[in-house]
Every structure is written in C-alpha cells, then in structure tokens.
Chains A and B, each alone.
Chain A
C-alpha cells in the first residue's frame, strides 16, 4: 500500500489537507468539533466529493463516486452517529452494509464467528433497537470486518462507550492493525490517541496545523496545537451557606417510563441539590440522560413528590409551571428541542423566556420586549449572528448552543438543568459557558449538569453521580474523588480519560 494524499484548496470545510497513511498504521485525525474531520472522512468514503485535490490509494488515483465504490476498494467506515436501523435485526443491518451478502442463515453464522474471533460477542437475530450503545457499535464494526477492509475509518468511536468497552475496542483495533489493516482514527480525545495511535494529523478550521507522533507528546502539547490557544480553567467562588432548610431541588424515587422509542426508563432516581451547588451527572449516552432532563423539565410528568423544589412538590407540573417557580432547562438537542429551527432568534427567545421575563400581557406577546431580551442574550453570550431576526437553523451549532444557554441563564434562575452544555462548542466558548454556569451557581442557583465529558463535570461540579441504565449512583462530593473511584461508579473500570485541558 502506497499511501493516501489529498489536497482541497478553496473548500470551506477542508482546505488543502494532505496526509499519508501506511498499511497497519493507526493514524489519528485530531481536531475540535467543527475542525473538518468528518467532512474529510466523508470524502474518503465517497459521501462527499472533493472540489479539488486528489487521493491516491495503493498507487492508483482514487475517487469514489459513492460509498459502494469506496467499499469495493476496501475502505470501511464506522460512523459517529450510528448508521443503524433500530427496527431491523443485527444480521439485516450487517447485510445492508455489504455488497453481496450471503443468504441470511450463512451471514448469521459468519457474524457469530467473526464477532467471537475479535472478542465482540453479538447475537445476529436481536433487534438493534434493543442493544446498548456499545453493542450497536459492534454491529457497525462487524459490518466492516466482514468486508475484509484494507482501511478502516473510525469516527469518534469512543464517545458512546463505557471505559470497559473502550478497552475491548482498542484490543480489537490493535489486532486489526497487526493484521495489516490501516486505521484512520478520528477523535478529539487526546489520551485515547496517545494510547492507540502511531501518527497524528491535527486539524484546525479545516487546515492541517501539525503532525506528530502522539506517544512522544503530552496531552497538553497536543491540546494546544488543536485549540491554538492556552486555556484557563474556570474560576470558582467559595460556596456560601444559604441557610436553607429544604434543598432547592430534590428528586426522590423518580421512576418514569421513556416516551422515546427504544429509550431507557428511569428507575428510582434520587438526589438533592442545594442552592449554590453543582451536581454533575455522568454516564454513557442512552442511559437515561434525555429522560432525566424531560422529567426535570416537566415534559414527562411524575408523581408529585418525586420532584420537589424548596420543599414544594412539582412532579405533576408542566414546563411552564416549573419555569414560573424558577426552573430553567437546556436540553441536549438544540435544533428541534431547545430551539425551533425555522423560527427567528426573537421567537426562540420567547420560547422559554415568556414566563420569567414577563413577555406576555393577558396572552398578548410583547414583541419589542422579546427582541430586547434576545438581543441582550446575543450580546452577553457573544452569539455570532447577522441579526436577532435570523432563523435558529442558520446559526452554527456552537453559536446556537451559546444562545440557548444564554437564554436560560439570563432568566434569574433558581434551578438550572443542562444536558451536554458544551457539546459541539469550541474550547474557548466552552470555557465561557462553564464560567457562566458557575457564576449562576455562585448567585444562588441549584445546578444539575448532565454530560458525557468527565473532564467538564469534574471541573464544574461540587458533587458527582453516574447514570447507568436509568439508575443513578449515590452522589458523592467531587473533592477527594479519585479516578479509580469514578471508574468504579461508572461500572468498575480503569483507563478513564484524564483531565487534559491544562
């Protein structure tokens, strides 16, 4: 295998990117969200056509017109957001990713054989919707392995895995690379890359900003190459004693079914959060995070006493009634849940600000006051937009996230619930969002932060708990918590990703 070179000048997502990959090499493509990693691999996989530049594969020019062609040349890909079909079974899902699948019976036998060979046990007849995130990823990997790939592309594979599952995955990948398969590994997690990868290409804003051998660099050095700036951790004011008798937010024995198809029900979740306290809730995606947010926001109703605010039962109240007593919420999905994509920022400001900002009078909307509110959020949270009249969908993910968080935090909240506060936001903006959350806590709000980013949680939280299959561990103070203990809380594993942002 010769190598792979490409250059794409004049493109917004990627410009003039080149790198080379050898057989059996694990090559990292490192960069922040929005650095152009995903667009890059879509070009290799034939989903997107480059505007210019060329790729060379095994010495010959390579320009896949579609994924089928890429697969035929031996390129396989495991997607960041799974390309699986929940209502189909494992074997059917695998068959869809193959060019000439054998009959179902034979395929099922091969799936079993390959999955055991690589230590990834799977039952071919199970419905994918019923599988855990880790098992789903196995389906994707096995789909690739059955094609006997020469190049395997992994797009953010560990973001949905537990530490043990990461361990298993790495073993599989090492086995593959020993067999001569080249692996292109896309991630923004530095420790992973240091343990796994032989070479790394670092992207920033669509451009290559450096290459290195990860084992010879520290995580911090790579982080600074990736981000291009030196980062400062958020400041924390010492916590005050507010002298409350009841916790600002208390959840007891919260059990609710999931309204999401193939979702996770919450099982007897309980915790208390005092004013000024930040509770961080960790866990792998799909373990009940969305449901917990819905139950706290009032989109799922529960028994009255399951959720209480300052001693008052609120379990049966809807979102509007909860906002009235001081709740603000920021769901994970910005476009479609936290904001209406086709509505302007002004209308989206009204979406949650109507009650606490007093934007209606006898049911009639005060659009002038709403505009002022939206513009204040845009100004205070540095939201880049042509105007407050722009549709929410026209903003970049990070900018919309800043708007959503800003909108919620600007409402003088008593209780703040945020799922994935900095998902898809660049590092500088993420730091300012974390700072804003801490400022609100210092001003006396009780805060629940749900996140899959452990570093983030350890940075902002006072206490820490883990959500696992709809159950919450007992919250423990972050101070004095060791990595080993966190690993145990998450399911008894080691090798957690360690804090890296300096």
Chain B
C-alpha cells in the first residue's frame, strides 16, 4: 500500500521537477485524449509542442509565442503574489477587460489628436482600470469580510457585460457603419502598441512582462514586502505576529494583480487585438491561473510556464487548422496540465512510501513521541 510521509523540509528537487513531470504526464494523458478523438497522438503533440518552434512556419509562429505569452506572464506574476499571500483573486479576466475598456476609452477620447503623451496616459488608465476593478473585492473583503474569490469572479461577468455595452454602445466606432466594435488603434498612431522589432512579436506588453518578472523576483527574494507576502500565505498567525497588517497586504496584492491584468488588457487592445470588440477577451485571465501554478508561483517559473502555455495556444490553433482538432481540446488539455501539476506537487512536501503488510523489516516510524 502506498502511504504519504511528510518530509521534514520541502524537497528542492521536487519543487523544481514537478512542472516538468506534470507537462510530460499531460502529454501522455492528452495523447490518449487525442487518440480517442481519432487523431494520431504523436502528430498532434508534435504539432503543438514542436512545429511552432522548429516547423515550417516557425519564423512567424515564434513571434506569436511572445504575443501570447506577454499577457499571460503579466497577469500570472500579479496573481502569484496574491496566491502566495493566500489572497485568491480569480477575477483577472474581468480586470483585464476593464483595463482595456478604460484605457481604450481614454485613448479614443483623445482621437484624433497626435501627442506623445497619449499612450503613457492610456497605459496609466489601463492599469487604473484593472486596479479599480480589483479594489472592489479587496475592499469588500477587508471591510466586510466578503469572500474575494466569489466577488472577483462575479465581477468577470459584470465586466463582460460592460465590454458588450462598450463595443455596441459608448465606444462603438462612429464610422463603423453600425457594426459593433471600436475604432482600430492600428490606424491611430499615438495610441497604438506596434511590434517594436519586426518579426519578433515584441511589443510594449512583452517588455512590461519581462520587467515585471524581474521586479517580482527581486521583491520576493530580497524585499521585506516579499517576505511578508510569503509569510502571510504560509503562516497567517506568524505574519500577524511579525507585524503584517492583513488589510494593507490584501489591498496591495489585489491592487498589484489588478493593475497588471489591466495593463495586459490595455497592451492587448492597443496592440494585437487592435480594437474593443464583444469577443475581445479570450480567457487569458483564467489561463494565467494555470500559468501561475505551473510556474510554482515563482516569477522565473512563470516566465517559462507562460511560454509553454503560449505554445499550447499556438500549437493548438495549428492542430485545429491542420489536423482538425477541436479548439476546445486545447482548453481541456490546459486544464489537465493543472491537474497533473497539483497531483505531482504532493512530492515536494511528502514522500511516497511503500508499506509492506505483515512481517519484514519495517523501517518506518509509526508515530512521533508527543
């Protein structure tokens, strides 16, 4: 019989190895799923994980990798700070939408003025939009003890309604002959977020993601605030004993994650997406939760996890066009990845032990003296 035995100290090896094991297991389980769908599993896996990087169209797809990974990393780093502190903001999708809507509204209000200050102001407005949307659950939690998970999630649905209202109403392109959707930012230079180096997919959002990864790394490793975040998540009573103010920390973590999600939305709407439209959001806010966990809530890990998750998006699209794989299969595949990660995660804190019943030299301890 298998039993679990708590390790005295968390295993460093398994902490680093679990994401790799999880990805491999997901490939196996996903392969079985693809086989059940009547596809050749090896071909699908190769299309998802290999072709975007080294295949025929890699020159184009590699750039797409950064485009997709940018917002995922930006949001996931923010979320990971909260998750570490035991603050569960799972409404990043809503904050992402609100960042885009408010940022875009500011930009469109200035149309067609061309001024170098417009874009920075939009960036601030985008961050504000996400921050503001995250402040609602934060303040309700600290003030009324309301569950932040439920509130932040409810607000996603509200944000989606606002997005629909924006694209059909107050932000609709007056020259769009009545079709839903705002003006396209690619035609408005002062407010657009173009590719910085042609063919790389690098835009300001990707730059922001890299900067955020470094900043978060330094924060968690070296700064008092990072220590307090980690402490609050691991031992809330010890955190209060240390002198952490849980209210301030909640507001701060929710604020940071909201602002980063808002930024991601703003960079997306002014760059790759180009305009506010009803189907502007594609679930980055939820996928970022997987990215955060897959990256072990560690900024560097999130950077890698974001790239892998972006790969599954792009590879999934390719598999969908080339092999006729349903696009929903990729969503299930990503969900599966999180399952496997959570499952193998047990190894970093516990040892698996094989118990042989009956005689034989039992080396395990039956219980600690108390």
A and B touch in the complex (CB under 8 A): yes
For the side of the interface on B, what is the size category? Answer: 20 to 34
Contacting pair B222 A365 (CB below 8 A): yes
Q: With A354-B224, A390-B8 known to touch, is A339 a contact of B238 (CB < 8 Å)? A: yes
Of all chain A residues, the one with the shortest Cβ separation from B364 is A51
Contacting pair B234 A342 (CB below 8 A): yes
Contacting pair B243 A393 (CB below 8 A): no
Binary contact track B234-248/A, C-beta < 8 Å → 1, others 0: 110111111101000
Q: Say if the beta carbon of B176 comes within 8 Å of chain A.
A: no
Of the listed stretches A220-228, A315-323, A487-495, name the one at the interface; the rest are far from the partner chain.
A315-323
Contacting pair A343 B231 (CB below 8 A): yes
Q: Say if the beta carbon of B177 comes within 8 Å of chain A.
A: no
Of all chain A residues, the one with the shortest Cβ separation from B235 is A340
Contacting pair B369 A39 (CB below 8 A): yes
Could you tell me the distance between the alpha carbons of A360 and B227 in the complex, rounded to whole angstroms? 11
CB-CB under 8 A from A381, the residues of chain B are: none
Of the listed stretches A42-50, A87-95, A236-244, name the one at the interface; the rest are far from the partner chain.
A42-50
Of all chain B residues, the one with the shortest Cβ separation from A341 is B235
**Number of residues from A at the complex interface, CB < 8 A:** 53
Could you tell me the distance between the alpha carbons of A271 and B362 in the complex, rounded to whole angstroms? 56
Contact partner, B241, options A47, A351, A354, Cβ 8 Å: A351
Q: Say if the beta carbon of B115 comes within 8 Å of chain A.
A: no
Q: Say if the beta carbon of A337 comes within 8 Å of chain B.
A: yes
Q: Say if the beta carbon of B367 comes within 8 Å of chain A.
A: yes
Contact partner, A299, options B8, B227, B241, Cβ 8 Å: B241
Q: Say if the beta carbon of B366 comes within 8 Å of chain A.
A: yes
Q: With A11-B366, A39-B370 known to touch, is A391 a contact of B241 (CB < 8 Å)? A: no
Q: Say if the beta carbon of B223 comes within 8 Å of chain A.
A: yes
Could you tell me the distance between the alpha carbons of A252 and B237 in the complex, rounded to whole angstroms? 26
Interface residue ranges of B77-100 to A (CB < 8 Å):
none
Q: With A34-B369, A48-B367, A298-B243 known to touch, is A341 a contact of B234 (CB < 8 Å)? A: yes
Main secondary structure on A side of the interface with B: loop
Contacting pair A336 B243 (CB below 8 A): no
Contacting pair B366 A364 (CB below 8 A): no
Cβ of B355 to closest chain A Cβ, rounded Å: 11
Q: Say if the beta carbon of A350 comes within 8 Å of chain B.
A: yes
Contact partner, A350, options B225, B227, B368, Cβ 8 Å: B227
Contacting pair A390 B9 (CB below 8 A): yes
CB-CB under 8 A from A367, the residues of chain B are: 222
Could you tell me the distance between the alpha carbons of A331 and B225 in the complex, rounded to whole angstroms? 23
Q: Say if the beta carbon of A297 comes within 8 Å of chain B.
A: yes
Contacting pair A318 B245 (CB below 8 A): yes
Cβ of A69 to closest chain B Cβ, rounded Å: 17
Interface residue ranges of A299-353 to B (CB < 8 Å):
299, 318-321, 323, 329, 331, 333, 336-343, 347, 350-352
Cβ of A41 to closest chain B Cβ, rounded Å: 10
Can you report 9 residue pairs joining A to B where beta carbons are below 8 Å apart? A34-B370, A48-B366, A320-B243, A337-B235, A340-B231, A342-B234, A343-B230, A351-B242, A363-B224
